[in-house]
Amino acid sequence: MKSPCVAKCKNNAGICSGCWRTMTEISHWITYPEQQQLAIMADIKAINATHQCPQCQQPAQCDISEGKSTCWCFDIEPRQTLAGSSSACLCRQCLSSMPTI
């Protein structure tokens, strides 16, 4: 698969604000098999959404909700989320806009 880079790269504390991949996903991209690349893109686009983002109400994906032991968000710097908000994860775009801790 060709790189999903959209040439609007900005490392926003571990997540690219252009393509929404984590820095880990970007740095390992060429070593991932195509199936894994396609799965990452499906997660970013929330094709297999696990819930709605509590902030923007758009489809969002959480690896933990899918039964995995880790989540893509473990690879980015911790964010300050809204106090008292839903326990559901934010989507990549909304999480990216939150200030780091």
Angle of CA points 70, 16, 65, to nearest 5° = 25
Residue 6 lies in a domain: no
Residue 47 lies in a domain: yes
For the chain, the domain total comes to 1
pLDDT bucket at 85, cuts 50 / 70 / 90? low
What is the three-class DSSP state of 51?
strand
Output the pTM of the full model: 0.84
Tell me what the mean pLDDT of segment 38-51 comes to.
91
pLDDT at 37: 95
Is a pLDDT exceeding 90 seen at residue 58? yes
CA gap 75, 73 in Å, rounded: 5
Is a pLDDT exceeding 90 seen at residue 83? no
pLDDT bucket at 51, cuts 50 / 70 / 90? very high
Residue 4 lies in a domain: no
CA gap 57, 36 in Å, rounded: 26
pLDDT at 1: 77
pLDDT at 19: 92
Question: Domain span at residue 20?
Answer: 11-97
H-state helical runs in the chain: 23-28, 34-44, 92-97
pLDDT bucket at 41, cuts 50 / 70 / 90? very high
Torsion angle, alpha carbons of 68, 74, 80, 83, to 10:
20
What is the three-class DSSP state of 45?
coil
